[in-house]
Structure 1
Amino acid sequence: MKSLKNKFSALLILFCVQFSFAQDSLKLSHQEFLNIVKNYHPLAFRYQLQNKIANAEITKARGNFDPVLAGKLGEKNIDGTKYYEQRNVELGIPTWYGIDITGSYNYLDGEKLNSSETKGGLYQFGVTIPLAKNLLYDKRRAMLDQAKFGLKMTEAEQIVLTNELLLDAENTYWEWVKNYEIYKLQKSAVEINRKRLELTKKTYEFGERPAIDTVEVSSQLQGFELQERDAYLNFVKSTQELQMFLWKDQQELYEISQLIFPSSSLDEHSGYSDYEFLVQNVQSRQVQNHASLEYYLQKQNILESERRLKWQSFLPKIDFTYNFFNKENYRRDFLPLFDNNFQYGLKLEIPIFLRQARADYEIAKLKISQNQQDSQLKTREINTKIETYKNEVNNYFTQIDISTKNLNNYQRLLNAEETRFSNGESSLFLINSRENKLLEAQEKNLELKAKFLKSYNKLKWLNENFLR
């Protein structure tokens, strides 16, 4: 069963990638790769856990409003004298507006009780009301508000961090594809020049070509073989970089036992046709709806909540407490409240110098000002990125168009040179020169396409960061 489970996990990881291209090799598409990163990468999983932690913080803050049930049972007896026997049950209910409600039943009996104690069963109902400090806002309400803002803040941060991870992964994928296609170009050039060398050797044997031509072709072949080895090394390195994003279930790194190859190509990307729509879409967005700015907005709400809480320290603490009593088996007599069976108290605390209150309040205001500056800086940064990525995409697309035309011209020049060579009007040196220029143009074209896609991805994931 364990072996079967491991095989099934591996199958999920690779999303049904198919065996093809070469012996013992796998092909991985762009979408399959992104799905693996989204579902199995440890950072993506960690960001999801942050949201769960923020939700738990809200539950924790709500716990400050939970009713509390308490009980007490006790007796003291020395030398046969029962000093006291006590049984007590109490329920405390904190409310949203800082008012605490209590209800209890207390039974007390004994021979050594204080004169203020009441024998027998006694029911009690009480309320404590803050008349100044903590009436409009208190620590319990502040903690709950801050936990709610913290959840929204975490969600916004999670969106940005996840999209940054996916951007990094996607750009790594297309860099891998580019290196693979350059390797295929070099491999193709090597094959062409091997055939050309064989043909040149035969024409030399028939006396149609001088021996120096075989040296020329051989030298060209060796140059291409060196470039092929270098291209292959770059492809292997980029495969290793890609592996850092390949994970299995339970956040285990997927070890690549054989080379994998892309099933997507640079030319197949939809960005070439819909990049203008993406640019327009990003430009139509409201910058304040970006998740990065939502993060600072929720942080501002948390700091504002803290400022309101610190402001309460300037107020005198005046707490009014009233308790109504009713002895067991006695007639209930509620009204008037201050006539019989009651207890009340008024507690007053007035800070004299207010040094701590003034310092805490000033710190809270400075943090708000600091966050506002950070938000303005982030707004400027987002606007700058939008303009930068937009210009990059437009510029690279234009360069690709020019490069493609230039590539076609080099291909025609090579074809013409080969025709002239077959007519005895050219040389292998000129053919090699044209071929080198064509290969350079092909590599340049692939480099530009990779740069375009990277800029396109930056713009795409920036657009994904907008909440509305």
Structure 2
Amino acid sequence: MKKVNKLFSIFLIFFSVQFSFAQDSLKLSHQEFLNVVKNYHPLAFKYQLQNRIANAEITKARGNFDPVLAGKLGEKNIDGTHYYKQKNLELGIPTWYGIDIHGGYNYIEGDKLSNTETLGGLYQFGITIPLAKNLLYDKRRAMLDQSKFGLKMTEAEQIVLTNELLLDAENTFWEWVKNYEIYKLQKSAVEINRKRLELTIKTFEYGERPAIDTVEASSQLQSFELQERDAYLNFVKSTQDLQMFLWKDNQELFEISQLIFPSSNLDEHSGYSDYEFLVQDVQSKQLENHASLEYYLQKQNILESERRLKWQSFLPKIDFTYNFFNKENYKADNLPFFENNFQYGLKLEIPIFLRQARADYEIAKLKISQNQQDSQLKFREINTKIETYKNEVSNYFTQIDISTKNLNNYQRLLNAEEMRFSNGESSLFLINTRENKLLEAQEKNLELKTKFLKSYNKLKWFNENFIR
């Protein structure tokens, strides 16, 4: 930033002597500027990365349902005693409904085996079924659901944040254009008054004007020169603000090394003609489809998923496991599940006081209630903003119409005063007064157009937040 400030200091000093429109100056249009912000601004790039992170979270959650293949190879031998030699291969397959399927092959031999071990090769196929807790909903399903809701939540947030960035950038652009046009007005006024001073000096030398008129003309010129310098400083400052949105494709700040001017002007904007269509379009949208509310809706889904998961803690944990065995090189005539070559188990866990379960469930419900209140507040905020922006746009458009008529009247008064002055019926003082009023009206007109465009942009980018 020191380098940028130094660059602008040099920029300001160089043009404090004389401002010229060099042929190698850069022209930046409104659309070109927005394209740069959309494609290269670090925040826009960051918001895109958030979506990729959310997609990765879904992949991560799906990993909880991936089959797991495990193998084990071991042997124990002490002082010539062959305790055991073992080979084991297992495959576990988790399913969506909390049921785990597993199968495997185990081979073991040795002199010091446990009585529960089976010599030789043994095939195993089994299943574990939760009979209460985790049967209807469990952590694996909750994580996947929440990651899917999280992606939609991130996408909605990304829409809002990106549009806020573009709104800020676009309003900065039109503020820059306004300051440039004000500078051109002041520069034009300086040129006119410089010529007027030269003409007044000549008429004084010919004896047609009193000496005091040269003082009047000189004073007016100096006043406009001061205003020109101030307008130029504002233009340079707004150029520096604009530069904060100009980035290159390698995420490096674009440094201005030559003149840069807007190729767009305030009068070219399409908002003056289509703002009523924009208002109608916004009015036709359902507020529930706004991305800000979509964010809270998906957050509600995540919290509801968490509540369902916490409710499972009230249920007793009853897991039934069954394994069917078959020895290697042995063919069974039938599958007597509970007569031979089987193993089953039933595990029961019941928390006595359920204090943790009750507390977790209560917290989950409170978070849902809190999010519902936040959603209602956001709904009212969105509705209020829409009405505010609609009123601003309509009001500023009316003011522009009045200001333009007023501006035309000041121009006619100045023209008439100059005609009277040429006929010897007026004074330089009255011309300067009319000219000052005209310049004030011109600047006021530009200010109103800028305010209109800023309000129009607020409504436009707010409208872009509706996702369906």
TM tier relative to shorter chain: over 0.9
Q: Is the contact between residue 108 and residue 119 of structure 1 (CA under 8 Å) also seen in structure 2?
A: yes
The answer for the alignment partner of 1:414 in structure 2 is 414
Alignment partners' CA distance in 2, 1:35 and 1:390: 27
The answer for the alignment partner of 2:460 in structure 1 is 460
The answer for the alignment partner of 1:15 in structure 2 is none
Alignment partners' CA distance in 2, 1:91 and 1:205: 109
- Which SS does the other structure have where 1:132 is aligned? coil
Aligned CA-pair RMSD: 0.8
Q: How does 1:136-155 map to 2 (within 5 A)?
A: 136-155=136-155
The answer for the alignment partner of 1:5 in structure 2 is none
Distance 1:36 1:334, change over 3 A: farther
- Which SS does the other structure have where 1:191 is aligned? helix
Alignment partners' CA distance in 2, 1:266 and 1:99: 66
- Which SS does the other structure have where 1:320 is aligned? strand
- Kindly state the Cα deviation for residue 80 of structure 1 after the two structures are TM-superposed: 1.6
Count of matched residue positions in the alignment of Structure 1 and Structure 2: 449
Residue 277 of structure 1 aligns with an amino acid whose one-letter code is F
Alignment partners' CA distance in 2, 1:290 and 1:28: 32
Alignment partners' CA distance in 2, 1:211 and 1:282: 63
Alignment partners' CA distance in 2, 1:407 and 1:334: 102
> Is 1:87 equivalent to 2:98 in the alignment?
no
- Which SS does the other structure have where 1:89 is aligned? strand
- Kindly state the Cα deviation for residue 332 of structure 1 after the two structures are TM-superposed: 2.4
Q: Is the contact between residue 126 and residue 323 of structure 1 (CA under 8 Å) also seen in structure 2?
A: yes
Residue 44 of structure 1 aligns with an amino acid whose one-letter code is A
Alignment partners' CA distance in 1, 2:217 and 2:21: 29
The answer for the alignment partner of 2:6 in structure 1 is none
Alignment partners' CA distance in 1, 2:331 and 2:419: 121
- Which SS does the other structure have where 2:250 is aligned? helix
- Which SS does the other structure have where 1:103 is aligned? strand
The answer for the alignment partner of 1:234 in structure 2 is 234
Residue 332 of structure 1 aligns with an amino acid whose one-letter code is A
Q: What residue ranges of structure 2 are gaps of 5+ in the alignment?
A: 1-19
Q: Deviations over 1:34-73 (max 9, x none)?
A: 0000000000000000000000000000000000000000
- Kindly state the Cα deviation for residue 92 of structure 1 after the two structures are TM-superposed: 0.3
- Which SS does the other structure have where 1:346 is aligned? strand
TM-score by length of 2: 0.95
Alignment partners' CA distance in 2, 1:334 and 1:381: 70
Distance 1:334 1:400, change over 3 A: farther
Q: Deviations over 1:86-143 (max 9, x none)?
A: 0000000000000000000000100110111100000000000000000000000000
- Kindly state the Cα deviation for residue 421 of structure 1 after the two structures are TM-superposed: 0.4
Q: How does 1:13-412 map to 2 (within 5 A)?
A: 21-412=21-412
Q: Deviations over 1:202-254 (max 9, x none)?
A: 11111111111010000000000000000000000000000000000111001
- Kindly state the Cα deviation for residue 21 of structure 1 after the two structures are TM-superposed: 4.2
Alignment partners' CA distance in 2, 1:97 and 1:127: 12
- Which SS does the other structure have where 2:295 is aligned? helix
Residue 155 of structure 2 aligns with an amino acid whose one-letter code is E
TM-score by length of 1: 0.95
Alignment partners' CA distance in 1, 2:332 and 2:134: 33
- Kindly state the Cα deviation for residue 23 of structure 1 after the two structures are TM-superposed: 4.1
> Is 1:436 equivalent to 2:432 in the alignment?
no
The answer for the alignment partner of 1:424 in structure 2 is 424
Q: Deviations over 1:325-384 (max 9, x none)?
A: 000011125522101100000000001100000000000000000000000000000000
Alignment partners' CA distance in 2, 1:26 and 1:457: 25
Alignment partners' CA distance in 2, 1:307 and 1:260: 57
Residue 66 of structure 2 aligns with an amino acid whose one-letter code is D
Alignment partners' CA distance in 2, 1:75 and 1:227: 93
Distance 1:333 1:250, change over 3 A: farther
Q: Deviations over 1:7-28 (max 9, x none)?
A: xxxxxxxxxxxxx942442110
Alignment partners' CA distance in 1, 2:216 and 2:76: 113
- Which SS does the other structure have where 2:132 is aligned? coil
Q: Is the contact between residue 310 and residue 360 of structure 1 (CA under 8 Å) also seen in structure 2?
A: yes
Identity of aligned residues (%): 90
Q: Is the contact between residue 21 and residue 27 of structure 1 (CA under 8 Å) also seen in structure 2?
A: no
Out of 201-210 and 304-313, give the one that drifted further: 201-210
- List, as ranges, runs of 4+ consecutive aligned residues in structure 1 with deviation greater than 2 Å: 20-24, 332-336
Q: What residue ranges of structure 1 are gaps of 5+ in the alignment?
A: 1-19
Alignment partners' CA distance in 2, 1:155 and 1:308: 24
Alignment partners' CA distance in 1, 2:183 and 2:338: 94
Alignment partners' CA distance in 2, 1:380 and 1:244: 33
Alignment partners' CA distance in 2, 1:405 and 1:334: 101
Residue 105 of structure 2 aligns with an amino acid whose one-letter code is Y
Alignment partners' CA distance in 2, 1:237 and 1:21: 18
Alignment partners' CA distance in 1, 2:332 and 2:104: 15
Q: Is the contact between residue 271 and residue 453 of structure 1 (CA under 8 Å) also seen in structure 2?
A: yes
Q: Is the contact between residue 107 and residue 119 of structure 1 (CA under 8 Å) also seen in structure 2?
A: yes
Q: Is the contact between residue 137 and residue 309 of structure 1 (CA under 8 Å) also seen in structure 2?
A: yes
Alignment partners' CA distance in 2, 1:237 and 1:335: 86
